């Protein structure tokens, strides 16, 4: 969750890793996008990329990001499209039965690598993971990105969404395959409480055919009512995302 999973950094010490990541984000990513003539204003795109990293995995509010990055809302949308088109970010639309409604709800964008996210956000030591909020956000991003990669290879017909009700109930990841729905709550703790599953319960009330599951950092599966709580590694096994 700190160093990411880019092949050049695997097994390298943190100091060397972040030296590489700073060069990668400061030179390669921005220059590559400029060379492809996708963005003309490098200063504006640099500001946007820093904000996009800070907002990775969160609901996107184009107006807020526009103010923080100092560019228009139209430009923010265009920049996100650049990230998506160049595979630097994964977009999750909100899950709704109505495709028309889906277009007007806030999406989430996940930058492709947590080491890149942390480098852009200035998180370069393990102390940054001590904050429960930071750790929880990074753990969610890690699981979502791994699920996206796994399903892209194994089940390309699967579609990934997030879900948020008008009342604020949330589910981190919804996987749709044909008529099958899997609702996944992601918790960076070993012990999950009943109150932590309120989003899953709200989703299943709206979509009774959905299978709920909560993944966490515990090393053993258990049940909370009718909801399985499993170690995050098991999400990629036969019972859930695997065959």
- Ordered domains of the chain (ranges, CATH): 7-130 (1.10.10.10), 134-236 (3.40.1350.10)
Helices (H), the chain: 14-23, 30-35, 42-54, 62-69, 73-85, 99-102, 114-121, 132-154, 198-206
Neighbours of 94 (CB within 10 A): 19
The predicted pLDDT at position 219 comes to 94
Q: How many Cα neighbours within 13 Å face the side chain of 199?
A: 20
State both tokens at 18. Answer: 């972040």
Report in angstroms the alpha-carbon separations of 152 from 90, 170, 206: 12, 24, 27
Lowest-confidence region among 8-22, 70-84, 126-140, 190-204: 8-22
Mean pLDDT of the chain: 90
The predicted pLDDT at position 103 comes to 46
Look at the block and give the residue holding tokens 């989430």.
108
The predicted pLDDT at position 105 comes to 81
Q: Pick the residue with more confidence: 178 or 97? A: 178
**pLDDT tens digits, residue range 169-228?**
899 999 999 999 999 999 999 999 999 999 999 999 989 999 999 999 999 999 999 999
Q: Is residue 59 scored above 80 in pLDDT?
A: yes
Average pLDDT rounded to a whole number, residues 160-173? 91
Question: Is the Cβ–Cβ distance between 97 and 210 less than 8 Å?
Answer: no
Q: Is residue 38 scored above 50 in pLDDT?
A: yes
The predicted pLDDT at position 191 comes to 94
**pLDDT tens digits, residue range 120-135?**
999 988 898 899 999 9
| Cα separation, 63 vs 209, whole angstroms | 36
Q: Pick the residue with more confidence: 203 or 15? A: 203
| Cα separation, 216 vs 29, whole angstroms | 33
Average pLDDT rounded to a whole number, residues 143-164? 95
Percent of the chain scoring above 90 in pLDDT: 66
Confidence of residue 102 (pLDDT cuts 50, 70, 90): low
Q: Is residue 162 scored above 70 in pLDDT?
A: yes
Closest CA to 142 of 112, 166, 101, 121: 112
């Amino acid at each position: 969750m700190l160093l990411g999973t880019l092949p050049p950094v695997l097994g390298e010490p943190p100091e060397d890793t972040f030296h590489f990541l700073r060069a990668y984000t400061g030179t390669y990513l921005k220059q590559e996008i400029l060379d492809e003539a996708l963005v003309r204003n490098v200063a504006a795109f640099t500001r946007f990329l820093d904000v996009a990293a800070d907002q990775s995995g969160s609901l996107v509010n184009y107006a807020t990001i526009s103010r923080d990055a100092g560019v228009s809302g139209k430009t923010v949308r265009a920049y996100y499209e650049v990230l998506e088109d160049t595979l630097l970010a994964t977009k999750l639309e909100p899950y709704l039965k109505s495709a028309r409604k889906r277009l007007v709800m806030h999406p989430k964008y996940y930058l492709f690598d947590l080491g890149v996210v942390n480098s852009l956000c200035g998180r370069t030591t393990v102390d940054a993971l001590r904050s429960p909020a930071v750790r929880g956000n990074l753990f969610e991003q890690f699981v979502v990105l791994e699920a996206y990669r796994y399903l892209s290879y194994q089940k390309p017909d699967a579609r990934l969404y997030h879900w948020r009700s008008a009342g604020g109930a949330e589910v981190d990841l919804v996987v749709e395959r044909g008529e099958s729905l899997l609702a996944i709550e992601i918790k960076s703790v070993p012990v999950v409480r009943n109150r932590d599953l309120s989003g899953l319960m709200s989703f299943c009330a709206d979509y009774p055919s959905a299978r709920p599951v909560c993944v966490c950092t515990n090393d053993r599966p258990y049940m909370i009512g009718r909801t399985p709580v499993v170690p995050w590694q098991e999400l990629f096994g036969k019972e859930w995302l695997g065959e």
